[in-house]
Structure 1
Amino acid sequence: MNYLLTGATGELGTHALHYLKEQVGTDEIAALARTEEQAAKLREQGIDVRVADFSDYASLLEAFDGIDRMLFVSSQPGGAVSRGEQHKNVVQAAKEKNVSFIAYTSFPKGADSASPLAQDHILTEKMISDSHIPHTFLRNNWYIENEADTLHAAAEGHPFAYSAGEGKVGWALKREFAEAAVNVLTGKITAPEILELSGTPITYTELAAALKTASGREFEVVAMNDADYKASLIKNGVPESIVGFILMIQNDIRNGELAVISDDFEKVLGRPLTPMVEALKEFLQN
């Protein structure tokens, strides 16, 4: 059985490669990298690296040759070629090369989501379904690491600010999302078509309380409106383009887009998620 990891040089992909090597031999693993420079680091680990880009259909056909099961890590939006077009290339190439299974990293709630971030994922889920390739949609909630700037600053005594109100998020460590993905990829667990991978939803106030315990530091927790939060971010040097993205996420959270209650995550891992205080301690140490 030959397994392919896309996004293998990113943080999620790096964790996934670690867990995949625990389950299968390196001779069964292939990894996708966009450049030869990225590929070199993986080849040092004895990994078969295929250099390809989601924007280049021909390169994907070559990269998918001989692949049975694939972890399809969604690309980042904002490229010269739209994410929708990139994902279309991946699905069509997988179909043409007879890939037998796709595990795709999607967005919470799928077609029921009103988040702007969900739209490309909704389209991709439909393309995969229409391809008739057996698949599982990994609807990943929110990585603790996505809050890195806020968490590190607060752990150093700076204010913990947000504008998401009482909205809740199913935060978990990125490595746990990767471990779940690999368990699905290898067939270690029999997965349904859709997995809502979410930690227990909590508010920013609860996240801040857990951070105080994890860090042993006291800091002010400041709930802001969007206008004040935007001004605060800009004052702290955050580029306006990124500020807009942050505010969009805060709005999604306020509107309940990430408040997913599901036990899928623990079922796929075969154990409970790392408790939040312990997860934050691990995050702060890395």
Structure 2
Amino acid sequence: MKYLVTGATGGFGHYALNYLQEEVPVSDIFALVRSEEKGAVLKEAGVNIRIGDYADKASMKKALEGIDRMLFVSGAPGNRQEEHANVVEAAEEAGVSYIAYTSFAGADKATSPLAADHIFTEGLIEKTGIPHTFLRNNWYLENEMPIVDAALKGGKFVYAAGDGKTGWAMKREYAEVAAKALVGTDYPAILELSGKPISYAALADSLKKATEKDFEVIGSDDQGFIENLVANGMPQSVAEIFLSFQYDIKNNQLDVASDDFEKALGRPLIRLEAGFKELLD
């Protein structure tokens, strides 16, 4: 059995590859990278490298030749629907027998602009008839590190999501489930992977406990949220992207309650306080 992980040089793909190596021989593991140079470190570790780009269907078809099971890590927003179509079509033509796809929390009910590409991709995969697991990932705790860093350096934990709740968990926990799915764990076709949904005010409390530091917690308007991030070194354009995430949370797009995650892992998720300690260590 040959297993391939896309997005292999990113954080999620890196974690997934590490977990995969605990389950199957490294000789059966393939990593999709955009160039030999980008894959050099993985190659040195004994992982097989395949060169491919989501934007180039021919390269994807060649990369997927002989692959049985694929972890399809979603690409970056932009031209994602066309790129994802290339990946799915290439997988079908190459005879891939299983796809685990990193989707969006509650994708079938979500109205977030972020969800549209994932709903589209889920539909493409379903049409192929290829057995699959849609890993509907909620928000990574790592995504909040700019807000966390601003709080610890500037003394202000500023958010603009109101009372909206999010099912935060560690990126490595999501990736562990992805690796388990890839090696054939008997999961349903859809996994809603969410931690217990909580507010930013509760998240800030976990951060205080983790760091034993006090800081001001501010439910802000849009301008105050952006100004705080920019004051702590984030470019204005990036701060505006982070603000768009706040809108989704305020609109309850990530308030998804499910016990799928802990069932899939076979254990409780790490407490957010411990997660912060791990990230800040």
Report what 1:33 is aligned to: 33
Report what 2:275 is aligned to: 279
**8 Å Cα contact 1:160-1:221 kept in structure 2:** yes
Task: Map Cα deviations across residues 129-155 of structure 1 (whole Å, 9 max, x no partner).
Answer: 111111010000000100111112323
**8 Å Cα contact 1:157-1:217 kept in structure 2:** no
Output aligned runs, 1:36-185, within 5 Å. 36-78=36-78, 82-156=79-153, 158-185=155-182
* Structure 2 Cα separation of the partners of residues 176 and 231 of structure 1: 32
Letter in 1 for 2:18: H
Find the residue that maps to 2:37 and give its secondary structure: helix
> After TM superposition, where is structure 1 displaced by more than 6 Å over at least 4 residues in a row?
none
Gaps in structure 1 of 5+ consecutive residues = none
| CA RMSD, 1 decimal | 1.2
**8 Å Cα contact 1:155-1:212 kept in structure 2:** no
Q: Is 1:210 aligned to 2:206, yes or no?
A: yes
**8 Å Cα contact 1:172-1:199 kept in structure 2:** yes
Report what 2:17 is aligned to: 17
| 1:191 positional shift | 0.8
Q: Is 1:256 aligned to 2:252, yes or no?
A: yes
Higher mean displacement: 108-117 or 242-251 = 242-251
* Structure 2 Cα separation of the partners of residues 210 and 28 of structure 1: 40
| 1:233 positional shift | 3.3
Find the residue that maps to 1:36 and give its secondary structure: coil
Q: Is 1:240 aligned to 2:240, yes or no?
A: no
| 1:58 positional shift | 1.0
* Structure 1 Cα separation of the partners of residues 43 and 224 of structure 2: 48
* Structure 2 Cα separation of the partners of residues 236 and 270 of structure 1: 39
TM normalised by structure 2 equals 0.97
Identical columns (%): 53
Task: Map Cα deviations across residues 88-110 of structure 1 (whole Å, 9 max, x no partner).
Answer: 00000000011000000000111
**8 Å Cα contact 1:180-1:269 kept in structure 2:** yes
| 1:235 positional shift | 4.1
* Structure 2 Cα separation of the partners of residues 13 and 55 of structure 1: 19
What count of residue pairs does the alignment treat as equivalent?
281
TM normalised by structure 1 equals 0.95
| 1:165 positional shift | 0.5
| 1:227 positional shift | 2.9
**1:227 aligned to 223, 226, 229, which one?**
223
* Structure 2 Cα separation of the partners of residues 100 and 48 of structure 1: 19
Q: Is 1:2 aligned to 2:9, yes or no?
A: no
Find the residue that maps to 2:214 and give its secondary structure: coil
Letter in 1 for 2:71: L
| 1:238 positional shift | 2.8
Letter in 1 for 2:148: L
